[in-house]
């Protein structure tokens, strides 16, 4: 049984392991990998360095974790002494637990394609190939992998929350009990269009959502307006910002500004392969084709995933603008039996089935 513990990366034992790693990588890839490692990075906040010991106390492996971007930690300097079975898995499990404690939603890493043993190791542990990030972009010899880790209910490392201005008005503070949102693992899930950027929603988008839904132009018959009147909008947003496999709610920003101007939801139904589509857009941006542009980008992305088979949208008969958007995207009016959810009176059910004939 191996014991994994936090350690100083500059300690003699750590330096011994890091030297062994550099020598091994030099033999396999022609590079020691030290150029992409800074000891200071793993001694910073929400970072760590760990070593593994054998039952007799001998150091047999190491690994490190450092912050990469909001919600994402990078795995660094993973090493196991030759013939030390189970060390790599023990170190990886320890660092993934630390990532959860630190409040991360994903762990990313880079290795070399030629290091087939390392690639296979990570894939066995649930990591999947992602688009290259940071210094590894346009590096054909590199392969980047990533994995979701469960969202912690709370995190001791979570920075102090700013006072919630809504608390004084009697609203429940969303920051007091929200789970830390997970970011999407795959870089290619971060969509862009000629005018907009689309990212996984965060609970911080609540202000923009409330401002849009509360505006005089926003149709008060829509479900979001009802949730706003009932004080349940924050709960709706929190629920959709928490996910285990893939984001359910996406926020739209203009390329020129980080402010959220709308959102698109793709929520899985109990019926395997069926997803519900809904969206909202700030009234100031109506009539510009932005909703269609962004939904089309997400649907193109979804069409590449085997678990997406049918996307369903239900629209009020009195909402010709949304009906036009859906028809422009290739949605067809469908019978209610395509979904297991009831269709309200005065509403039309639309569906888009994914297949080679669909060109969203």
User: Is 289:246 a contact under the CB 8 Å cutoff?
Assistant: no
Q: Given this structure, which CATH class describes domain 3-148?
A: alpha beta
Domain boundaries, the chain: 3-148, 190-353
Q: Are 38 and 74 in contact (CB under 8 A)?
A: no
How far is residue 172's CA from residue 224's CA, in Å, rounded to a whole number?
Answer: 18
Put simply, whether the predicted model's pTM sits higher than 0.75 gets the answer: no
The CATH H-level (homologous superfamily) assignment of domain 190-353 is: Gcn5-related N-acetyltransferase (GNAT) (3.40.630.30)
Q: What pLDDT, on a 0 to 100 scale, did the predictor assign at position 165?
A: 31
In this predicted structure, which of 70-84, 180-194, 285-299, 331-345 has the lowest mean pLDDT?
Answer: 180-194
- Model confidence over 257-271: pLDDT tens digits? 889 999 999 988 766
Fold identical between 3-148 and 190-353?
yes
* 345-349 contact pairs (CB < 8 A, 24+): 346/316, 346/317, 346/318, 347/314, 347/315, 347/316, 347/317, 348/314, 348/315, 348/316, 348/317, 348/323, 349/312, 349/313, 349/314
If one compares 199 and 32, the residue with the highest pLDDT of the two is: 199
Position 273 scores a pLDDT of: 76
Chain centroid offset of residue 190 CA? 9
CA distance 240 to 265: 8
Would strands 249-254 and 260-268 be described as parallel, antiparallel, or unpaired? antiparallel
Q: How far, in Å, CA of 347 to CA of 336, rounded?
A: 10
52 Cβ contact list (under 8 Å, min separation 6): 2, 3, 4, 59, 60, 61, 62, 80, 84, 87, 90, 91, 94
Q: What percent of the chain has pLDDT over 70?
A: 82
Each residue's pLDDT tens digit, 280-296: 999 999 999 999 999 99
Q: What is the C-alpha separation between 340 and 273, in angstroms, rounded?
A: 12
User: Given this model, what pLDDT does residue 272 score?
Assistant: 65
Per-residue model confidence (pLDDT) at position 150: 66
Mean pLDDT of the chain: 81
- Nearest 5°: the CA angle 157, 160, 164 is 140
Spatial separation of the C-alpha atoms in residues 38 and 156, rounded to whole Å: 25
Q: What is the pLDDT of residues 88-133, one digit of tens each?
A: 999 999 999 999 898 887 899 999 999 999 999 998 888 888 878 8
**Confidence class for position 151, pLDDT limits 50, 70, 90:** low
């Amino acid at each position: 049984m191996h014991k994994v513990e936090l350690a100083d990366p500059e300690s003699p034992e750590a330096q011994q392991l890091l030297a062994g790693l550099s020598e091994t990588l030099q033999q396999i890839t022609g590079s020691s990998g030290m150029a992409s490692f800074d000891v200071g990075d793993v001694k910073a906040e929400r970072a760590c360095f760990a070593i593994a010991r054998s039952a007799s106390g001998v150091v047999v492996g190491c690994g490190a974790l450092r912050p990469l971007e909001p919600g994402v930690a990078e795995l660094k300097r993973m090493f196991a002494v030759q013939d030390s079975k189970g060390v790599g898995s023990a170190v990886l499990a320890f660092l993934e637990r630390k990532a959860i404690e630190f409040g991360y939603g994903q762990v990313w890493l880079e290795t070399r394609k030629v290091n087939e043993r390392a690639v296979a190791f990570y894939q066995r542990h649930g990591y999947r190939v992602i688009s290259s990030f940071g210094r590894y972009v346009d590096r054909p010899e590199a392969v980047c992998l990533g994995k979701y880790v469960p969202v912690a209910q709370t995190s001791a490392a979570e920075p102090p929350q700013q006072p919630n201005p809504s608390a004084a008005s009697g609203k429940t503070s969303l920051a007091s009990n929200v789970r830390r949102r997970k970011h999407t693992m795959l870089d290619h899930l971060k969509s862009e269009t000629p005018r907009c950027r689309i990212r996984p929603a965060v609970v911080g988008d609540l202000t923009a959502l409330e401002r849009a839904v509360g505006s005089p132009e926003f149709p008060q018959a829509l479900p979001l307006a009802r949730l706003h009147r009932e004080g349940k909008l924050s709960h709706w947003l929190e629920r959709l910002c928490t996910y285990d496999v893939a984001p359910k709610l996406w926020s739209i920003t203009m390329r020129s500004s980080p402010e959220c101007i709308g959102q698109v939801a793709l929520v899985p139904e109990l019926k395997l392969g069926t997803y519900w589509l809904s969206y909202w857009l700030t009234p100031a941006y109506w009539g510009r084709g932005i909703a269609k542009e962004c939904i089309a980008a997400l649907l193109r992305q979804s069409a590449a995933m085997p678990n997406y088979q049918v996307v369903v949208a239900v629209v009020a008969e009195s909402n010709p603008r949304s009906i036009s958007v859906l028809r422009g995207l290739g949605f067809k009016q469908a019978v209610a039996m395509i979904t297991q959810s009831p269709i309200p009176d005065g509403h039309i059910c639309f569906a888009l089935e994914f297949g080679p004939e669909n060109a969203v």
